[in-house]
Amino acid sequence: MQSLLSFDQAPPLAGPLRFFLTAPAFAAGAGLLLLLLGPGLLASRWTPGALAFTHLLTAGFMLQTMVGALLQILPVATGAGVEHPLGVARAVHGLFTGGLLLLLGGFLSFRPLYFQAAVGLFAAGLLIFLWAAGRALARVPASSPIQWALKLAAAGLAITVLLGLVLASALGFSLPWPLLQITGIHLSWGLVGWGVLLLSGVAYVVVPMFLLTPSFPGWLSRILAPGLFLALALWSGAEAAGLALAPWLGGVLMAGCGVFAGVTLWLLVRSKRARLDATHRYWRLGLGSGLAALTLLALGLLMPSLGGWNGWPLLFGVLILVGGFMSVISGMLYKIVPFLIWLHLQNAGQGQVLAPNMKKIMPESAMGRQMACHAAALALLAAAVLWPEWLARPAGAALLVSSLWLMRNLIGGVQVYRRHLQTIRGQLAASS
């Protein structure tokens, strides 16, 4: 797999790094929001606080890291280099960040003007990103599972954001549209059409390369992305039309996601690593939480008594967002960021000055302690759904601390980069 990657085509470090460093700040904002609002936020998935909390994790943490990862992996894994990557990164990062802040203001104050402005910024950011990524991907034929997954994930992102713009427009302009139905479809495209498809495409590279596992089975990598995308499109149409086929297609989606999680866990068990590092443990936690979330979702659909409990959508959200996606993404950041720093320092050294070992860029002990704090935050958040009066604020505090800790570890890696870059430049100047 590594032989198929073109690291010489990697974009400037500042491009993806701005997304990676901003993402934990939004997760910390979610923890702070729960700490301030307390049990009231967990009264229902539709409270203003719950909607803001959810979007801090999805349109904040997940979107930021995944856009950064896509900008990084497109040229490396597919040869589809984005033109003017640093300019694109700056524009998209600023527009998405500003749009999210306005969207949060809209949820918490319910002022239509905030929703209207958020629509404009998100739409502009989406157009710039899809124009840049779409042009890059159009130049590369979809000849490998990685390329298929990334192309379909980009399409899934477009659909997710467009549905989000529809919802924000309905709230901002008081349009009589079926908000609950659109929200369900929007959520499904965000989690599966964007999240799982991009995660699978990145996993095909990251898991064997960094976690020393066997490669993904060919049958899975060939059919997963096209199969999930097609099933999701059919489910969306059936759900919008109110067809009886929709639950069955939903079951196909859950089964496909479950197979991906199960196979990835099986590969992790077969890893050649002598000891588990923070990234390996993060992936196991994330995939286990994802399987638990899928099980809960299936039980909620099959058991009317559970489906009628207001807490089960909240528990599902905690398991899939904080336990699933946030865990896996954090684990990937702990491999991708040190590797990118090492790669750029190695290139800067021009073969004359060596870059520091990746373990010195970001110490394993710091990553392990932060991962333990994240696991504690996840446990508290899940328990807070059951006992919000007692645990809502402690859970918010734990999420705040773990997210800030993640940010501190990433910033520490950047500080190592800056120090060694100065050293490299000094040694090269002295030798010339």
Q: Find the CATH number of the domain harbouring 112.
A: 1.20.210.10
Helix (H, G, I), strand (E, B) or coil at 140: coil
**Residue 201 lies inside a defined structural domain of this protein:** yes
Q: What is the pLDDT of residue 1?
A: 43
**Residue 428 lies inside a defined structural domain of this protein:** no
> How far is the C-alpha of 184 from the C-alpha of 381, rounded, in Å?
23
Q: What is the pLDDT of residues 89-123, one digit of tens each?
A: 999 999 999 999 999 999 999 899 999 999 999 99
pLDDT band at residue 426, thresholds of 50, 70 and 90?
confident
Look at residues 272, 268, 274, 282 and name the one whose alpha carbon lies nearest to residue 369.
282
**Residue 2 lies inside a defined structural domain of this protein:** no
> How far is the C-alpha of 163 from the C-alpha of 308, rounded, in Å?
26
**Residue 341 lies inside a defined structural domain of this protein:** yes
pLDDT band at residue 2, thresholds of 50, 70 and 90?
very low
Give yes or no for residue 313 having a pLDDT over 50.
Answer: yes
| Average pLDDT value for the chain | 91
Q: Which amino acid is at 389?
A: E
User: Tokens 């803001």 label which residue?
Assistant: 52
Helices within 242-319 (DSSP H only): 246-269, 278-302, 304-307, 311-317
**Residue 3 lies inside a defined structural domain of this protein:** no
Structure tokens that stand for 328 in this block: 């896996």
Q: What is the pLDDT of residues 351-377, one digit of tens each?
A: 788 888 888 899 999 999 999 999 999
> In total, how many domains does the chain have?
1
Q: What is the pLDDT of residue 8?
A: 59
Structure tokens that stand for 195 in this block: 């999240």
The domain in which residue 142 lies consists of 8-423
pTM of the model: 0.94
**Residue 271 lies inside a defined structural domain of this protein:** yes
Let me know: does 50 contact 33? Beta carbons within 8 Å.
no
Q: Which amino acid is at 27?
A: A
Helix axes 197-211, 278-302, angle to 10 degrees: 150
Q: What is the pLDDT of residues 322-358, one digit of tens each?
A: 999 999 999 999 999 999 999 888 888 877 888 888 8
Burial of 109 (0-12, 13-18, 19+ CB in 10 A): exposed
